[in-house]
Amino acid sequence: GQNIDQPTEMTATEGAIVQINCTYQTSGFNGLFWYQQHAGEAPTFLSYNVLDGLEEKGRFSSFLSRSKGYSYLLLKELQMKDSASYLCAVMDSNYQLIWGAGTKLIIKP
Amino acid sequence: NAGVTQTPKFRILKIGQSMTLQCTQDMNHNYMYWYRQDPGMGLKLIYYSVGAGITDKGEVPNGYNVSRSTTEDFPLRLELAAPSQTSVYFCASTTGESSPLHFGNGTRLTVT
pLDDT tens for each residue of A73-100:
999 999 999 999 999 999 999 889 999 9
pLDDT tens for each residue of B50-97:
999 999 999 999 999 999 999 999 999 999 999 999 999 999 999 988
Gap from B82 CA to chain A (nearest CA, Å): 23
Asked if A63 contacts A54 with a C-beta cutoff of 8 angstroms, the reply is yes
B105 in contact with chain A, both atoms CB, cutoff 8 A: yes
Under-50 pLDDT residues of chain A: none
Residue B90 burial (CB < 10 Å; 0-12/13-18/19+)? buried
DSSP type of residue B96: S
pLDDT higher than threshold 90 for residue B40: no
Gap from B97 CA to chain A (nearest CA, Å): 6
DSSP string, A26-60: -SS-S-EEEEEE-TTS--EEEEEE-SSEEEEETTE
